[in-house]
Structure 1
Amino acid sequence: MSSMQPVLTKHPAFVEAERRWGEMKSDRVHFEADWEGIARMMRPQRGGFSLDDPTSRQMEKPLSSAPIFAQSNFAAGLYGTLTNPANVWFGLKTNDSDLNAWQPARLWLDQVRDRLLASFMPAVSPFYSAASEVFGDLSAFGNGAQYDEVVPEERKILDVTVSLGEICYDIDGFGRVSEVVRRFHLKPAAALHMFGKRGNLPPKMAELAEKGDQTKFVFYHHVFRNADWRQGMLGVRGKRWVSRYSCELEGALVREAGYDEMPFFAPRWEVESGQIYGTGPGFIALASTRAHHQMDAATIRAAQRAADPTILAPDRGDWPLNGRIRPGNVVYGAVDTQGRAMLRPLEITGSVNLTLQEKQAKMEEIKDAFHYTLMNLAGRTGMTATEVMAITEERQRLWAPHQGRVQEEYLAPKIQRRFSLLWRAGQLPPPPPEMAGVDLQVDYQSAAAVAQKSAQGVAAVRILEDIAPLMQVKPEMLDRIDPDGLLEVLMDARGAPARMFRSREEAAAIADQRAQQQNAMMAMQAAQVGAGAIKDMAGAQAALQPPTEGGNAQ
């Protein structure tokens, strides 16, 4: 009799994640071919998009580093412009301009902004290093992927940039990410560390970890909309997004949970209508990069032939050369008795007529694809502040369509989710009662926006300088200027925090109190003056009265 082995049934969650991975992966095959070329020429730290394990790929070594420099310089420019940690790169505001100018609202918005910015700092989150990788992928492939996860035991928020080789996603009718499948590999020890306390790993995984097994197992992280979402309910049904981790070992469901917001972010640089994945500057530069690579290869091969040419010999058996001629050695028999050379190099009549200007032209095309002229201000001397501002404005003009998409698909949902995480954790102060139910907006503080506000402040000061001589002749011109409005313009121009200034109401109350004190002092002084005058008058009247009878009798 043959023994019957039990058939392990894979969990439906694993089967569904595996199926959706295959479907979404097949939809982007034509993109992956271009991504491989871009990675090979411009971003060698990425690649392996069509491999089972992208980390097992071989690192490509291009012949020129110039395209890599152009791509990395562009990515650094995006990072410095959009998420520079040295600057206050975003703020918060409402739809009501009057409410934004209200001092309690300004103070609360500034406090919330400061706490949000603090949550992105390295002590709490690796956001800035992860954002740098996102911008690198975005500049090269036109697509990036990142997710965040709260780690309660470490009191941190983990931001992770994911290679395009291990993630697939789908979009809804509005172009927003609606489903994500991440396929990654873990060794047993790493899986036990990740899911040991908050998961249900197969017992065999723990056994392999104890033995020190180094086999990599496939894991799927499947996130999708919760069709059974019920607001206010506990557990997974109370979450808008379902999160399922599953493992190929026994096809097990490792963990099922949920998110209130989509934790994955997939910014794209430029997208055609109806397309899921986009293209970026790297796609535009790919043709010129390939041509530049072939030019370098041809030049190097020609130089190798000239430095170490092929040697022609009559017969291998007659000459003890063994196919090698080394510098400084004596080759016996290389000439006959009459002095004629029996060996000669192979002469190739054709030559590589590639000039330095032709290769430089291709390099300029690559730099133009990455906006190198606008990006690189280093080394330029003698530039005025006006010229720098003009270049910055031109950069913003060219980036405006793409920058808006990056902010919409990456930064805005990232900040919104971070706000929600901190709010639910009780890390944000309560707003003033007057702001109940008011929607908040993200106000991005780009270099161009800051320069524009600064220019408004300079214009306000120059107007005062222009009308100062006129006010000597016509003082009523000063009545046209609102002092509070002027102060607020200068505050915005300098980026001053709201806590430095009092509200208009507080300033008016202080002015009224000061006026009352001045009036009281004036009244007191007037009373003192009046009392002195009365006393003086009384003394004068006493001096004018005649003496009484008998007052001077002798």
Structure 2
Amino acid sequence: MTDNKLANKVVNRLGQLKAARKPHEKVWKECFDYSFPVRGVGIDDTFSTTDDIQRKKSRLFDSTLTDAAKTQASAIISGLTPANALWFGLTVNEANEEEARWLDQSANTIWRNIHNANFDSAAYEGMLDLMAAGWFALYIDQDQKEGGFNFQLWPLATVYCDSTRADGVIDIVYRCYELTAEQVVNTFEEASEKIKKQAEREPNAKLKLIHAIYPRNDGKVGEKAEKMPIASVHVLENDKELLRESGYNEMPVVVPRWMLIPQSVYTISPVSDALPDAKTLNEIKKLELANADLAISGMWIAEDDGVLNPRTITVGARKIIVANSVDSMKPLQSGANFNVSFTQCEQLQAAIRKIMLADQLQPKDSPAMTATEVNMRQQLIRQLLGPIYGRMQSEYLQPLIDRCFGIAFRAGILGDPPESLPDKFIGIKYVSPLARAQKFEEVTAIQNFVAMTMQSAQVNQEVLDNIDFDKAARFTGEALGVPSEIIRPEQDVTELRQARAEAQAKAQADAMANQALQTGADEFAKAGGQHMAQQVAENG
């Protein structure tokens, strides 16, 4: 395909993607306006200034929805990708000791490099977008200057998505962005002479660019950039000029989604469910503040008595009002009932927190919980976030780890894998708090079963044969997130038991030998005593 044809194809496809996204933008914009106004800048093709954003924030008279969305975003992050604990591992079927060691070391290296980069800040802002719009786009690449990973959260206003797959998983991402003419020349060596001359005349002139990422049907992993499985094309939008064609070995953009809109790759968000209550609450708060102003400053009724002119009078501190009579001016009751307002606001705030799961996810202001209460709370969190975790795992965690593993492996920081490993499929196991919560019910069942069996064993010891205590202990430890360094490998356990059995057998053999020697000595001593007694009797 020639450069002009490819550039025209990208520009035309962008027009189609914009048209497909347009019907959903109004809802996203409204959700952002009532939760995080700054993050919704540009969604409706209007890029607001700082003053515009501040004015939008000033029109929010209640922050319940914002706080609840932040609470749920934080809970999902701490449940999916905590920075203080390893939240994934790598595994293969029937891994030997060498393979398991390399996989564990690789997972730990990737995890440390992810959180040593800017992942935590980008992921949090992405979760805020997920709360308001129901999706976000996180770009993952290698830091060309400092090394390690580089995470970029692309503004939703600039990203357009589609899918070539039957299951609707997003694999086409177009990003619109701007660079100055000087930046274009410095970034793309393939820039035309026209752009270079413009950079000399107007270095700060803004140019619109398109970054198109989509799958190549004939692409292969490990090939040169133009033949990789994922295409990367940069185009100058207005001039339809191809600036660069390259590629990726893995999809570099992860696009997690909340709840799909039928017949669309886009989604709705949890904020959209709470939006009606948030709008009503905001109006009530607005009226409440207006009536509070009346309650503080008061409302008056005045009579034009020839001396007092109500049209020019100003009520305030240290002011003297001249009138014919004290009855010419009186305070007027507003008739406002703040109790109704307070009750309605409390009900709406509670409804918003319930929809956003903030009342369940946020720690309670109460004394320390018992073990039973902790178990019940974890079960509740698992039930609430379980469906969310399934989609986050397939559309967020898996492509994120795949991309980071590919970058780290090609950079050589994982070391050489065992010779037997390249022929095996490397899978991902999730050990995050939310993944462990999925297994918590099984852990509880194991604990209850073992406890009941131990009680029955007091009557009949043979019932203990029904439990494989090794598997029960290992499963429970892994499900509770016990560090792998604490749990001995099965081979080490076998060797430890063999050594213990040999030591016990040796100790038993030594004890038997000592007992035999002692018995012989006693018999010899006894026989010697009898012989001496006989001699004494004969010589008597």
Does 1:440 find its partner at 2:427?
yes
Q: Is the 8 A contact 1:314 1:343 kept in 2?
A: no
1:353-502 pair list within 5 angstroms: 354-429=340-415, 430-431=417-418, 433=420, 436-445=423-432, 446=434, 447-449=436-438, 451-452=440-441, 455=444, 458-459=447-448, 462=451, 466=455, 469=458, 482=468, 484-485=470-471, 487-489=473-475, 491-492=477-478, 495-499=481-485
Looking at structure 1, the residues matched to 421 and 237 of structure 2 have their Cα atoms a distance apart, in angstroms, of: 53
Q: Counterpart in 1 of 2:63?
A: 65
The partner residue of 1:273 within 250, 253, 262 is 262
- Give the partner amino acid of 1:82: L
User: Which residue of structure 2 lines up, in the alignment, with residue 80 of structure 1?
Assistant: 78
Q: 1:86-235 residue pairs with structure 2 within 5 A? A: 86-94=84-92, 96=93, 99=94, 103-121=97-115, 123=116, 125-172=117-164, 173-188=166-181, 191=183, 196=186, 199-201=189-191, 214-230=204-220, 233-235=223-225
Change (3 A) 1:517 1:363: closer
8 Å CA contact 1:32, 1:49 repeated in 2: no
C-alpha displacement of 1:383: 2.2
Which one-letter code corresponds to 1:134 in the other structure? G
Pairwise CA distance, 1:186:
3.1
Letter in 2 for 1:229: G
Name the residue aligned to 1:29: 22
Tell me the equivalent position of 1:20.
13
Q: 1:217 to 1:304 in 2, by over 3 A?
A: farther
Q: For 1:133-175, what per-residue CA distance to the aligned partner results, in whole angstroms no more than 9, with x for missing partners?
A: 1111111221222111212332121111122111111123211
Q: Which segments of 5 or more consecutive residues in structure 2 lack a partner in the other structure?
A: 532-540
Return closer, same or farther for 1:444/1:348 CA change in 2, 3 Å cut-off.
Answer: same
Q: Report what 1:282 is aligned to.
A: 271
How far has the Cα of 1:203 moved from its partner?
Answer: 6.0
For the structure 1 residues 197 and 290, does the alpha-carbon distance in structure 2 shift closer, same or farther, using more than 3 Å as the test?
A: closer
Whole-Å separation in 2 of the counterparts to 1:483 and 1:259 = 47
Q: Name the CA distance, whole Å, in 2 between partners of 1:257 and 1:171.
A: 20
Residue in structure 2 matched with residue 6 of structure 1 by the alignment: none
In the TM superposition, what is the alpha-carbon distance from 1:294 to its structure 2 partner? Answer: 0.7
Pair 1:309–1:230, CA change in 2 (3 A): same
Q: Contact (CA 8 Å) 1:107, 1:498: kept in 2 or not? A: no
1:8-53 deviations in whole A, cap 9, x for unaligned? xx95555444433332222222321112221111112212344546
Distance 2:12 2:301 in 1: 59
- Structure 2 vs 1, CA of residues 297 and 444 (structure 1 numbering), >3 Å: closer, same or farther? same
Moved more, 456-465 or 227-236: 456-465
Q: Which has the larger radius of gyration?
A: 1
Contact 2:288-2:341 within 8 A present in 1 as well: no
**TM-score normalised to the size of structure 2?**
0.80
> Within 2, Cα distance between the matches of 1:185 and 1:290?
35
Q: Quick check: 79-88 or 417-426, which moved more?
A: 417-426
Distance 1:71 1:143, change over 3 A: same
Using the size of structure 1 for normalisation, the TM-score is 0.78
Corresponding letter in the other structure for 2:16: E
Q: Structure 1 counterpart of 2:210, which letter?
A: Y
**CA-CA distance at 1:375 after TM superposition:** 0.9
Given residue 136 of structure 1, which amino acid in structure 2 is its aligned partner? Answer: L
Residue identity in the other structure for 1:83? T
State the Cα distance separating 1:492 from its structure 2 match: 2.6
In the alignment, the residues of structure 2 paired with residue 463 and residue 434 of structure 1 have an alpha-carbon distance, to the nearest angstrom, of 43
Q: Distance in 2 between matches of 1:348 and 1:13?
A: 73
Q: Please list the CA deviations of residues 392-424 of structure 1 after superposition, one character each: whole Å capped at 9, or x if unmatched.
A: 212221222222112211111111221222222
- Give per-residue Cα distances to partners, 1:480-504, cap 9 Å, x unaligned: 6556435534543554444556544
Report the residue type matching 2:155 in the other structure: S
CA apart distance, 1:458: 4.4
In structure 2, give the amino acid aligned to 1:288: D
- Matched position secondary structure for 1:184: strand
- Per the TM alignment, residue 197 of structure 1 is displaced from its structure 2 partner at its CA by 5.5
**Aligned mates of 2:6, 2:488 — CA distance in 1:** 57
Return the offset for 1:246. 2.5
User: Structure 1's 463 and 72: CA in aligned 2 closer, same or farther, altered over 3 A?
Assistant: same
Q: Does 1:262 align with 2:251?
A: yes
1:361 & 1:525 partners in 2: Cα distance?
A: 79
The 3 A distance-change label for structure 1 pair 394 and 475 is closer
Q: Which residue of 2 aligns with 1:44?
A: 37
Match of 2:537 in 1: none
Residue of structure 2 equivalent to 1:550 = none
CA distance in 1: counterparts of 2:509 and 2:15, whole angstroms: 89
Q: Given residue 224 of structure 1, which amino acid in structure 2 is its aligned partner?
A: Y
CA distance in 1, matches of 2:76, 2:195: 42
Assess, with a 3 A threshold, how the Cα gap between structure 1 residues 444 and 19 changes in structure 2: closer, same or farther.
farther
Residue type matched to 1:81 in 2? G
**Matched positions, count:** 515
> Is the CA contact 1:143–1:269 (under 8 Å) kept in the aligned structure 2?
yes
> Judging changes above 3 Å, is the alpha-carbon distance between structure 1 residues 276 and 520 closer, same or farther for their aligned structure 2 residues?
closer
Deviations 1:361-397 (CA, angstroms, capped at 9, x unpaired)? 1111111110122111142324212212212212221
Label 1:112 to 1:452 Cα distance change in 2 as closer, same or farther (>3 A).
farther
SS in 1 for 2:171: strand
Contact 1:455 1:493 in 2 (8 A): no
State the Cα deviation string for residues 424-476 of structure 1 (Å, max 9, x = none): 22333514627832341332432514645754674576468546745xxx666
1:257-287 CA-partner distances (Å, limit 9, x unpaired)? 1011211111111113322211121000100
Give 3-state SS (helix, strand or coil) of 2:211's partner: strand
User: 1:498-520 deviations in whole A, cap 9, x for unaligned?
Assistant: 45565444554565567667778
5+ residue gaps, structure 1, are 1-9, 545-554
d(CA) in 1 for partners of 2:499, 2:294: 93
**SS at 1:177 equivalent:** coil
Distance 1:378 1:428 in 2: 43
Residues in 2 aligned to 1:391 and 1:525: alpha-carbon distance in whole angstroms: 55
Identity %: 23
**Alpha-carbon contact 2:379-2:437 (below 8 Å) kept:** yes
Which residue number in structure 2 is paired with residue 4 of structure 1? Answer: none
